[in-house]
Structure 1
Amino acid sequence: MSVKDLFSFIKLLKKENELVEIKTLVDPTLEIAEIHRNVAKQNGPALLFTKVKNSKFPVVTNLFGSERRLELALPFAFDTWSENMLTLLQKPSLKSLFSHRKQLYPLFKMGTKKRLFAPVLQQKIDPVDLDQLPLLKLWEDDGGHFLTLPIVHTQYDNISNLGMYRMQRFSKNTMGLHCQIGKGGGFHYHKYEKLNQNMPVHVFLGGHPALILASIMPLPENVSELIFASLLMQKKLNVYRNTPILCDAEFCLKGFVRPKLREMEGPFGDHYGFYSLKHPYPVFECTHIFHKKNAIYPATVVGKPRQEDFYIGVLLQKLLKPLIKFVMPSITDLYSYPETGFHPLAAAVVKERYKKEVYTTAFRILGEGQLSLTKCLILIDEPLDLSNFKAVLEYLLARINFHEDLFIFSNVPLDSLDYNTQTLNVGSKLVLCGLGKPIRTLETHENLPKFIKTASFFCKGCLVVEIENETSLEHLKRIQAFVMIVVVDNVQEACQNQESFLWIVFLRIDPAKDVHLPIENTKHHKLYYAPPLILDARLKPHLPKIVASNAEIEQKVKANWDHYFEKQETHLGR
């Protein structure tokens, strides 16, 4: 079955037993999100809520919450597509072009196609009333109700951008537009502000799944998400006449953002598993709301990994890998860890074709688009499976030279959602390199000092500990038997699996403040460190709250669970 829009994708998911309809009346305030989270924990299906309180529009969630559903969303095999694209980019000879002619065919379909009719314009909410849309409130302390899958279109000087920025409903016709640092929509707004002009904005909900994926994808600044979406669709993208309106979207919100006008947006339980706090963001003033006949409202639920965005992020990395290898030839593999929410930790397999090229590669990665928001970067030279973090860390720890292969950069741009630093959008970065032959044997013995309350090994060479007080932190520097020591609040929780370790450790450190090392020497403005590498990954008082479900809603969902899923072919237990 061919996918052309959200409705046809839902139809396909239902045919493939990948979607369940919930016909019980549900509340968009907390209840839908709680049902979604419980289903997601079980790797369950997409959910179509057909009766939503205070709205005539059905809500669909968890569309991309599995590899299988992502495979159904796009008309090609991911791995084959990526390798074919890499071959074409690297070796564009006549022979390779001919041998890959079937893969090349979709390239001739790339672009947009003007249409005289747009289904998304079939109906209109007049006067404008955003309260009629079933926006979700995901977590108890969220500041309100949010669009969580908006495809935001902006344009400046004939360069268009699609981005996905959450939007908080302020009133019947205004919303906060959460344009984070380093995003295309934010760059456009900056330019309009300099001209003191309103920025036109179109917000789309739904459409072909490729549109949603392309709007999330961290493409280079001047690469069009519209063109990339059509490449993923393997056909042209329908737009209405000479406008940016996407014909096959479910909803189109048309409006503008005024220059130099911001209102406090948030809090919001974000994909790091913490609340992002209130901050001033641009205000979207909605002038028109259009929608298809029988439109369906798409949404996602974010929170502590693993959520739906985990699967989306892994897929996007696969799709982008050929482009990354092409623009950065010294890289053979690159992986941002979804367990951390992506930006806090990445690892790369690199070539060192001349001495110290690894540092050039590190700066290249940290200077490229959204990769520039990476907080901790590990570089190795062995083609390991980067998703296996224990293997990567052991390889690094056996080879890292503390005099030369560890760098901490302070006062640099950082992801807006990372609150380990107490300055918005500014923090620090840690770069660790492990190349060549091993220079040490990694220890796993447990002859530990008494001031360590509890300890366990995450992997060879990496000891995870609980300590009694701050004095103990300094004492850890004397334990040179271990290359890396991680201080946590709860060793058992941190070491239960890779997912827990990565989320706890890399979501709770600011390298400039929380990385501790013995310093052997200072020369030519360079610090010469010695092991052990100590990471203080305890919760700090300034960090926002970790998201948690509302107890009353939890009980309500538990009590109604069988009722939600009665008469369904797909059975879900709790």
Structure 2
Amino acid sequence: MGYRNLSECVYDLEKTGQLIRIDTELDANLEIAAVQRRVYQSGGPALLFTRVKGCSFPMLGNLFGTLERTRFLFRDTLPAVLHLLSLKTDPMRLMKSPAAWPGTLRGTLNLLPRKVSRGPALDCQTRIENLPQLVSWPKDGGPFITLPQVYSESVSRPGWRHSNLGMYRVQLAGNQYRPNEEVGLHYQIHRGIGCHHTEALEQGKPFRVNIFIGGPPALTMAAVMPLPEGMPELCFAGLLGGRRVPLICQPGQLPVPAEVDFCISGTVIPNKTLPEGPFGDHLGYYSLQHDFPVLAVDRVTHRRGAIWPFTSVGRPPQEDSTFGAFIHELTGPLIPELVPGVKAVHAVDAAGVHPLLLAIGSERYAPFAEQQAPQELLTQASALLGTGQLSLAKYLFIVAGQDNPQLDIHDVPAFFSHLLERVDWQRDLHFHTRTTIDTLDYSGSGFQQGSKLVIAATGPVQRQLPCELPGDLFLPAGFRKPRIVLPGVLVIEAPAHHAPRGEADTAAQSFCNAIDPEQSINGFPLIVLTDDSDWTARNLNNFLWATFTRSDPAVDSYGIGAHTVSKHWGCSGSLVIDARRKGHHAPALEDDPVIEKKVDALGAPGGPLHGVI
């Protein structure tokens, strides 16, 4: 049976040696987040900060810090959840042999929430200023809730059956928000709450929102799950948590899970937005100030002994990377059913998740053809870019599984080699220009505006990928320090970028124009221009992060021997991606040296984190 509330979870983790208490007084302004990030990087335990400066509530960090601990939290229910998700593709399996699925049958009993008239979540009232004021990075615009569960309902079909529970960050103070009366509600495109908000505005009805913090871990995980349409997150929380979610239902109020630790209730102010941010986000940069909806706060309640769970995001991997890994374990087997012919997908965490999506598909349209070319792969790519959160992918690399049945999609170097051995740059580049991109991605032509690139490759090996620099390598003036980061992938240091946003850069263009497609450098099918080739090539994570977070496909893709035929762009030589920093990019996150020294002291002999960090 799963945890009834967060306190039970903390007790269990401490009892099993997976949580430590930190009784040293620490500040929620920068210090606590820095500690959590450091402990995550060391693979350490969950952390209960019992003395938060100026705040009476303890804070819980690194709860989902390892995949092993996340599995442990849901150990009693995982088999039933996996079985039930598999039945989405073939429900008759359960009907044909119900005796073989007893855990699944019991699990379905927990899908429906149960209504209650009261619960501990409403026992006490407080104010926004009394909540933990977590600031994760030095340039953040104020304190944020980083593990919120934002609950909304359809105004035309009220009730939990047509609800959305999503993790949309919340700014508690700062900027132009009225203290204790307003909070900022940041939600990105392609999110369920947007449909509810649009509906309320169209009908001129108040848009009520509840923000839950804490409660059983299943509620937090449900808020980030990409669930099948029609399954409310509250149902999944009951399934994953091993018990029906008790909902406090009061007249005129949105329901509140009885066991959450905090609840902020309010109404989104119609047609009002205020600047939200900056905020150090999971791409490793600051998302800058932009106007987002404002929640007028009616009340703030909490349970007795409430605990404030939090995380701190930044350049991956971070704790939220575990969410992605756990979600993949649950939903990965469903991909072939959601998109026929697709065998596997991998949103690359080191590249910021949405900037780079790898996929293994199938090429079955013309098995009789002497020469295979991407056909079905393009159909599958279009389907992937129209499926839930996968639609946020900026670069989609897709290959045919039959070309190498043993290819592991999580082996990124092997995947790159497989694709680059087969790709034809004159045929296999497919751009989506002037489209939407992730709200947090500043590489595009404007806010939430940019492009996408599908690279689809199939067929026999066309080239051997070089692992050494050729002796006659030629570089134009101003370009230097060529470094091989992967077989067939060359990183080159280039002059600083100066082009206006959304326009081609003359230096990158001159690089391509100065090289003939027959020159030896074209043995490297992929060339990346960067500000610091030594740093970019130092390890795979640096290469992935810099290349795919710092480029907009339609603007920053160049080619040696480039040409356009019937509006299809390609090149006879190497593909060149400009991954230099641009003037419109958001600042990268950097640790505060003073704060880091304080964290070092906690790990010194006699400190609470000695032996942990």
Q: Does the pair score TM above 0.5?
A: yes
Quote the residue 2:412 is aligned against.
Answer: 389
Match of residue 225 from structure 1: 233
For residues 318 and 516 of structure 2, the distance between their equivalents in structure 1, rounded to whole angstroms, comes to 37
Q: What secondary structure does 1:239 align onto?
A: strand
Q: Displacement, 1:532?
A: 0.9
The structural deviation recorded for 1:535 is: 1.0
Q: 380-389 vs 536-545, which deviates more?
A: 380-389
CA distance in 2, matches of 1:474, 1:77: 59
Whether 2:7 is the aligned partner of 1:7: answer yes
* d(CA) in 2 for partners of 1:547, 1:430: 27
Task: Report the counterpart of residue 114 of structure 1 in structure 2.
Answer: 115
Shift of 1:485: 0.8
Alpha-carbon contact 1:122-1:291 (below 8 Å) kept: yes
Residue matched to 1:490: 532
Q: Give the equivalent residue in structure 2 for 1:75.
A: 75
Is the partner of 1:176 in helix, strand or coil?
A: strand
Distance 1:350 1:90 in 2: 21
Task: Quote the offset at 1:71 in angstroms.
Answer: 1.0
Contact 1:184–1:221 at 8 Å: present in 2 too? Answer: no
Match of 1:454 in 2: 481
Select which of 527, 544, 557 maps to 1:502: 544
Q: Distance in 2 between matches of 1:315 and 1:195?
A: 38
1:549 paired residue number: 591
What is aligned with 2:461?
438
Aligned to 2:393: 374
Output the CA distance in 1 between the equivalents of 2:100 and 2:460: 40
Measure the CA separation in 2 of the matches of 1:573 and 1:106. Answer: 37
Deviation sequence 1:487-510 (CA, Å, 0-9, x none): 122223222322222111111110
Equivalent residue for 2:446, pick from 419, 423, 428: 423
Tell me which residue corresponds to 2:273. Answer: 262
**What does residue range 182-331 of structure 1 map to in structure 2 within 5 Å?**
182-241=190-249, 243-331=254-342
Alpha carbons of structure 1 residues 482 and 391: separation in structure 2 relative to 1, 3 Å: same
Residue 559 (structure 1) shift: 3.6
The residue number in structure 1 matching 2:370 is none
CA distance in 2, matches of 1:162, 1:186: 12
| CA distance in structure 2 between the aligned counterparts of 1:477 and 1:76, rounded to whole angstroms | 62
1:364 aligns with 2:383: yes
1:168 is matched with: 171
**What residue identity is the alignment partner of 2:152?**
T
Say if 1:252 and 1:477 are closer, same or farther in 2 by CA, change over 3 A: farther
Length-normalised TM-score, structure 2: 0.88
Paired amino acid for 1:459: L
2:337 maps to amino acid: F
Secondary structure at 2:484's aligned position in 1? strand
Question: What is the CA–CA distance in structure 2 between the aligned matches of 1:508 and 1:361, rounded to whole Å?
Answer: 26
Farther-moved stretch of structure 1 (514-523 vs 173-182): 514-523
Give the residue type in structure 2 aligned to 1:283. V
- Out of 144, 147, 152, the position equivalent to 2:142 is 144
CA distance in 1, matches of 2:104, 2:391: 31
Aligned partner of 1:23 in structure 2 is: 23
Distance 1:499 1:445, change over 3 A: closer
- Shift of the 325–223 alpha-carbon distance from structure 1 to 2, 3 Å rule, reads farther
Query: Are 2:51 and 1:51 equivalent residues in the alignment?
Result: yes
Secondary structure of 2:425's counterpart equals coil
Q: Which moved more, 1:488-497 or 1:40-49?
A: 488-497
- Is the Cα contact below 8 Å between 1:219 and 1:369 reproduced in 2? no
CA contact (8 A) 1:148 1:301 kept: yes
Matched with 1:475 is 514
Classify the secondary structure of the residue corresponding to 1:89: coil
Which amino acid counterpart does residue 566 of structure 2 have in structure 1?
H
Task: Tell me the residue number matched to 1:105.
Answer: 106
Contact 1:88 1:96 (C-alpha < 8 Å) held by counterparts: no
Query: For residues 291 and 446 of structure 1, do their structure 2 counterparts lie closer, same or farther at Cα, with a shift above 3 Å needed?
Result: same
**1:405 pairs with 2:453:** no
Change (3 A) 1:561 1:476: farther
Q: How much has 1:122 moved relative to structure 2?
A: 1.5
Check 1:250–1:440 CA distance in 2 against 1; reply closer, same or farther (3 A cut).
same
Given that 1:519 and 1:527 are in contact with CA atoms closer than 8 Å, whether structure 2 keeps it comes out as: no
Deviation, structure 1 residue 101: 3.9
| 1:441-464 alpha-carbon deviations (Å, 9 max, x no partner) | 222231221444212222221112
**CA positional deviation for 1:405:** 1.7
Note if contact 2:343-2:360 (Cα within 8 Å) is conserved in structure 1: yes
How big is each residue's C-alpha offset from its partner over 1:180-211, in whole Å with a ceiling of 9 and x where there is no partner? 11111122112212223321001100111111
- Match for 1:531 among 533, 548, 573? 573
2:108 and 2:459 mapped to 1: Cα distance? 41
Structure 1 segment 151-162 matched on structure 2, within 5 A: 151-156=149-154, 157-158=157-158, 159-162=162-165
SS in 2 for 1:407: strand
Q: Report the CA distance between 1:341 and its aligned residue.
A: 2.2
CA gap 1:113/1:477 in 2 versus in 1, 3 angstroms: farther
Match of 2:273, SS state, is: strand
The answer to whether structure 1 residue 347 and structure 2 residue 358 are counterparts is yes
- Taking every aligned residue pair, what percent have the same amino acid on both sides? 34
C-alpha contact 1:250 1:292 (8 A) present in aligned 2: yes
What amino acid does structure 1 have at the position aligned with 2:114?
K
| Residue 477 of structure 1: how far off its partner (Å) | 6.6
Show structure 1 runs of 5+ residues with no match. none
Given the superposition, is the C-alpha separation of residues 77 and 222 from structure 1 closer, same or farther in structure 2, using an over 3 Å criterion? closer
Q: CA RMSD in A?
A: 2.2
**Cα distance 1:163–1:81, how it changes in 2: closer, same or farther (>3 A)?**
closer
* Change in 2 beyond 3 A, CA 1:322/1:237: farther
Give aligned pairs, total.
Answer: 568
User: Which residue number corresponds to residue 371 of structure 2?
Assistant: none
- Deviates most, 2-11 or 214-223: 214-223
Compute the displacement of 1:168 (Å).
0.8
Please give the alpha-carbon distance, in whole angstroms, between the structure 2 residues aligned to 1:279 and 1:430.
26
Q: How far is the alpha carbon of 1:416 from its aligned partner?
A: 0.4
Q: What is the letter of the counterpart of residue 375 of structure 1?
A: K
TM-superposed CA distance for 1:81, in Å, is 5.2
